[in-house]
Amino acid sequence: MTPETELKRAMQEADPRKRAASLAVLLDRLGAVRKDVLTARDATARELHSAGASGAEIQRLLGISHGRVSQILSGWDEHRGKAAG
């Protein structure tokens, strides 16, 4: 089931307590997926850099700012707010 379908199903729940519980579960799942996607994106940026891609190319391919490219390549972990490692 897609997140959109889960959201529609949750919003059809008449009982606000049950709806709140369903929405909380969905938010937790989406947060975990978001973190996994960001981790994969950062790894891809580092791989592109290792393969010779410029910062501008990485920025364009991933749709992120120059500053974020610099943070990724320097090892900054946006999930923990510190250098990765």
pLDDT for 56 equals 97
Tell me the pLDDT of the chain (85 aa) as tens digits: 899 999 999 999 999 999 999 999 999 999 999 999 999 999 999 999 999 999 999 999 999 999 999 999 998 766 656 555 5
- Specify the pTM: 0.75
Residue 7: which domain range? 3-83
- CA dist 58 and 48 (Å) reads 7
Number of domains in the chain: 1
- CA dist 48 and 54 (Å) reads 8
